[in-house]
């Protein structure tokens, strides 16, 4: 990954020392169950460039009823946000970027009110890191993605109805509304 910063492009032609670099990322999908599963991280055949079932979203039948949804990948009806990956470039680790990204992710997802909980799979050596943010270790995961040996963790559960009610209450008490 060290080559990322060396090969990145400049952001300003008058200042070549300033470069665009992706320092960290968070990747997630909505899941049906309370934990991250291999299916939740799967790629539906319709989106797999190597699959014979690949479909072009520009075709007129893309959104038709003949299109049967896959149990793999993002599930819009899901009430769990499955955080599949939180990564920071090695040369930028230990500077608080991971904590900042996770804190921001949690806050944005809570503000968006899109699910009841956030679930992750993580390595054993990162369990304490996630506990700092309120995640609870649920033990060894059944997920085998990337070779397995994961731990399931769940955190930041909330009742969407209560959150919505609080917002409605707040809106109703604003003078002049």
Tens place of pLDDT per residue across the chain (177 aa): 445 555 555 555 566 667 677 888 888 989 988 999 888 888 777 766 676 666 665 655 555 555 566 777 778 888 899 998 899 999 889 999 999 999 999 999 888 888 899 999 999 999 999 999 999 999 999 988 888 889 999 986 654 443 332 333 333 333 333
29 falls within a domain: yes
Q: Whole domain around residue 133: which residue ranges?
A: 22-40+75-172
* Rounded Cα–Cα distance for residues 83 and 74 (Å): 11
Model confidence, pTM? 0.69
* Rounded Cα–Cα distance for residues 122 and 138 (Å): 11
Residue 41 C-alpha from the chain's centroid? 10
131 falls within a domain: yes
Q: 98 with 104: CB under 8 angstroms? A: no
Instruction: Name the domain count of the chain.
Output: 1
* Rounded Cα–Cα distance for residues 45 and 39 (Å): 12
150 falls within a domain: yes
103 falls within a domain: yes
Q: Which two tokens stand for residue 94?
A: 């230990």
Residue 159, domain CATH: 3.40.630.30
């Amino acid at each position: 990954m060290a080559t990322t910063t060396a090969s990145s492009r400049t952001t300003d032609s008058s200042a070549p020392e300033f470069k665009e670099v992706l320092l960290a990322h968070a990747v997630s999908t909505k899941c049906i169950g309370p934990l991250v599963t291999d299916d939740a991280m799967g790629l539906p055949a319709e989106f797999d460039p190597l699959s014979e079932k690949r479909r072009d979203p520009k075709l007129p039948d893309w959104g038709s009823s003949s299109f049967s949804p896959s149990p793999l990948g993002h599930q819009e009806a899901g009430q769990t946000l499955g955080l599949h990956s939180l990564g920071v470039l090695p040369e930028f680790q230990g500077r608080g970027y991971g904590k900042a990204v996770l804190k921001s992710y949690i806050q944005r997802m809570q503000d968006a009110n899109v699910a009841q909980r956030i679930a992750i799979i993580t390595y054993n050596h990162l369990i304490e890191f996630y506990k700092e943010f309120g995640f609870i270790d649920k033990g060894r995961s059944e997920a085998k993605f990337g070779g397995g040996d994961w731990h399931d963790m769940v955190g930041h559960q909330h009742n969407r109805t209560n959150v919505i009610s609080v917002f409605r209450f707040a809106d109703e008490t604003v003078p002049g509304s």
